[in-house]
């Protein structure tokens, strides 16, 4: 019998504490093993210690962290590796796919340079042409075309950056991949392709996979075994089928209940469908009003200029049509879902609406005012009424500002409150988004928070000015099912309280079906299907919509 690939024994991790603070274990006495070719899922709420385990395995924790226990890879102690052994170990033995790819990619290096540098560091015997050939083939596995080789990370969508991060992990053919929320920012079709590739490698190459995720449906579909973490402890462990069919721990039961609530499929046959109930929310009532936002023939084109070598061969500049002739209307108090694959133009459309980037052509009218014709000062003033929750909160929160300062900042920018009232409003909002006790989180910095907690801070910051329109770019993609439900309930409550309108960008089709009045399906910069959510799910018309729905993992199928 083959020896154990990977083993964690009684692992305990505590992060550096301030003077006088009581020691708190982020990971508390966790043990499990992983066999060659085995796929294990690790689930739990944000802040429960999942990502800490991934970093402990790679010895990427802060130097002053307190670590107890034992981690072995092929019966060799990871904590006893020398610096040279560790450098070879990372990437060749175990590869880690991070949750936030933008902070892991060098903004001054092209995508191609990232790949070549990785291969040169670990496989110096490869020639430049061999390295490039291997890199292009690996990028193709994650749907990154050869034409994007010379582009930089900032020219890619969040989902495409994540695909690059996955390709970098696959380049060296590791024996174990630790995937920390690898498909958080990916659409269902690309997620399915990548996870099928990872599971194929597990079978063919006897590679192990530790999949850290809050997506229970994905874990159920692709993992053999599942571990459930809660407050640093492993509260349940077993085969995926047994854990999902007969969960023993109360926390596991609550996670499943929340996920099944969002993915409930029976309601598609009923009149009271999802959350879209009540007279005011019915589509007919919504459309009786004048649109709050009207987009007409909106275009956003980018040009990729040829480099010096390409110009010698008379290569022409390449035009990328990120947004290509979009017509869309959004009505007061409506929730419009925008779905589509990563790189299809969803985030570009949202940034163009906000005039963070000026459109190539077309009009954006908000409350009857054409935003494309406004001056910088007028646009800044209009943003009090239009706020945005971005996809990557870590990149959007100032690391030098406390949570309280970050959330209060929009109040001061728009002269909505003095320092005393601002603090009162921020503490109230922190409690609303589930960061309790609020006084503690008020003084913390973004680096002290988990990815899910950072996302809740970003939502609080967007809501603090009480805008009329909230553009949500994957606002709950980094949250576990139970916290997703809480945040979605909060958004719906605030929607009624402040008469908000939402443009909800998501790759989670079941979440869109649960939440949205209408859905617009985007592909290749165009809207290929638009209509009532119930009708689109019951009878999709466009082939691309049908493909999306077929690829979406469903917990009920598990």
CATH number for the domain harbouring residue 258: 3.40.50.300
Same-domain pairing of 219 and 286? no
**Same structural domain, 331 and 224:** no
Residues 334 and 238 in one domain: no
Residue 143 domain flag: yes
Give the pLDDT of the chain (558 residues) as one tens digit per residue: 457 889 999 999 988 766 656 678 889 999 999 999 899 999 987 778 888 898 888 898 888 888 999 999 988 899 999 988 888 888 888 988 877 666 778 889 999 999 999 998 888 888 889 999 999 999 988 888 888 898 998 888 777 888 888 889 889 889 999 988 887 767 677 777 778 878 887 888 888 999 998 778 888 888 999 999 998 999 999 999 999 889 999 999 888 887 776 666 444 443 343 444 443 444 555 555 789 999 999 999 988 777 666 677 777 777 888 898 999 999 999 999 999 877 788 888 988 998 988 999 999 999 889 999 988 888 888 888 899 887 777 778 899 999 999 999 999 998 889 999 999 999 999 988 888 899 999 999 998 887 678 888 988 999 898 899 999 988 877 676 777 777 787 788 878 887 889 999 987 788 888 889 999 999 889 999 999 998 998 889 999 888 888 877 666 544
Domain endpoint, select from 262, 294, 309: 262
Q: Do 258 and 314 belong to one domain? A: no
Whether residue 286 sits in one domain with residue 221: no
Cis peptide upstream of residue 437 (ω within 30 degrees of 0): yes
What is the pLDDT at residue 297? Answer: 94
In a domain, residue 187? The reply is: yes
d(CA 328, CA 295) in angstroms, rounded, equals 5
Final residue belonging to a domain, choices 262, 291, 316:
262
Do 384 and 513 sit in the same domain of this protein?
Answer: yes
d(CA 325, CA 359): 11
**Cα–Cα distance for residue pair 31/71, rounded to 1 Å:** 9
Q: For residue 237, what pLDDT is reported?
A: 94
Structure tokens at 110: 């092209």
252-257: long-range pairs with CB below 8 Å, 24+: 252/228, 254/482, 255/43, 255/44, 255/45, 255/216, 255/228, 255/480, 255/481, 255/482, 256/216, 256/481, 256/555
What values do phi and psi take at 370, rounded to 5?
Answer: -80, 105
Domain assignment of residue 353, yes or no: yes
Residues 149, 283, single domain; the answer is: no
**Rounded distance, CA 254 to CA 505, Å?**
26
Range(s) of the domain holding residue 150 = 6-262
Asked if the structure places residue 270 within a domain, the reply is no
Contact status, residue 8 vs residue 53, Cβ threshold 8 Å: yes
Same domain, 330 and 224: no
What's the domain count of the chain? Answer: 2
Q: Are strands 335-340 and 501-505 parallel, antiparallel or unpaired?
A: parallel
What is each CA distance from 341 to 40, 232, 281, in whole angstroms? 26, 34, 28
Question: Are 381 and 348 found together in one domain?
Answer: yes
The answer on 316 and 235 residing in a single domain is no
Question: Is there a domain that residue 274 lies in?
Answer: no
């Amino acid at each position: 019998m083959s020896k154990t690939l990977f083993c964690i024994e009684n692992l305990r991790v505590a992060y550096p504490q301030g003077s006088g603070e009581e020691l708190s274990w982020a990971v508390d006495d966790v043990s499990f093993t992983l066999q060659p070719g085995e796929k294990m899922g690790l689930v739990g709420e944000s802040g429960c210690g999942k990502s800490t385990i991934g970093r402990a395995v790679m010895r990427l924790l802060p130097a002053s962290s307190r670590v107890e226990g034992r981690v072995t890879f092929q019966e060799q102690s990871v904590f006893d590796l020398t610096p040279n052994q560790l450098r070879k170990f990372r990437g060749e033995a175990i590869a880690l796919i991070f949750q936030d790819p933008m902070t892991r990619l060098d903004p001054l290096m092209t995508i191609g340079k990232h790949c070549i540098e990785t291969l040169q560091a670990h496989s110096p015997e490869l020639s430049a042409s061999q390295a490039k050939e291997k890199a292009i083939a690996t990028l193709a596995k994650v749907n990154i075309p050869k034409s994007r080789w010379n582009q930089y990370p900032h020219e890619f969508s969040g989902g495409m950056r994540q695909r690059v991060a996955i390709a970098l992990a696959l380049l060296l053919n590791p024996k174990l991949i630790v995937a920390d929320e690898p498909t958080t920012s990916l659409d269902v079709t690309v997620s399915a392709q990548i996870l099928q590739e990872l599971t194929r490698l597990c079978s063919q190459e006897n590679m192990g996979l530790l999949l850290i995720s809050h997506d229970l449906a994905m874990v159920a579909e692709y993992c053999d075994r599942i571990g459930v973490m809660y407050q640093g402890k492993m509260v349940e462990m077993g085969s995926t089928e047994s854990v999902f069919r007969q969960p023993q721990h109360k926390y596991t039961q609550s996670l499943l209940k929340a996920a099944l609530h969002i993915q409930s499929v029976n309601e598609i046959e009923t009149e009271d469908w999802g959350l879209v109930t009540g007279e005011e929310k019915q589509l007919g009532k919504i459309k009786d009003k004048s649109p709050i936002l009207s987009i007409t023939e909106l275009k956003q084109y980018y040009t990729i200029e040829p480099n010096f070598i390409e110009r010698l061969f008379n290569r022409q500049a390449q035009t990328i049509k990120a947004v290509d002739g979009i017509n869309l209307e959004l009505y007061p108090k409506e929730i419009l879902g925008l779905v589509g694959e990563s790189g299809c133009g969803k985030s570009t459309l949202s940034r163009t609406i906000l005039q963070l980037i000026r459109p190539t052509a077309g009009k954006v009218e908000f409350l009857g005012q054409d935003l494309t014709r406004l001056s910088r000062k007028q646009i800044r003033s209009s943003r009090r009424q239009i706020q945005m929750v971005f996809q990557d909160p870590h990149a959007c929160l100032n690391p030098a500002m406390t949570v309280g300062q970050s959330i209060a900042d929009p109040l001061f920018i728009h002269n909505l409150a003095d320092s005393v009232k601002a603090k009162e409003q921020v503490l109230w909002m922190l409690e609303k988004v589930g960061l309790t006790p609020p006084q503690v989180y008020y003084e913390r910095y973004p680096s002290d928070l988990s990815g899910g907690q950072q996302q809740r801070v970003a939502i609080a910051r967007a809501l603090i000015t009480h805008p009329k329109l909230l553009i949500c770019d994957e606002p709950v993609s980094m949250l576990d099912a139970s916290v997703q439900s809480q945040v979605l309930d909060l958004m719906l409550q605030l929607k009624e309280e402040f008469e908000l309108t939402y443009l909800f960008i998501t790759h989670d089709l079941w979440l869109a079906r649960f939440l949205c009045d209408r859905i617009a399906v985007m592909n290749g910069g165009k809207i290929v299907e638009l209509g009532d959510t119930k009708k689109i799910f019951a009878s999709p018309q466009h082939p691309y919509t049908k493909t999306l729905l077929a690829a979406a993992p469903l917990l009920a199928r598990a």
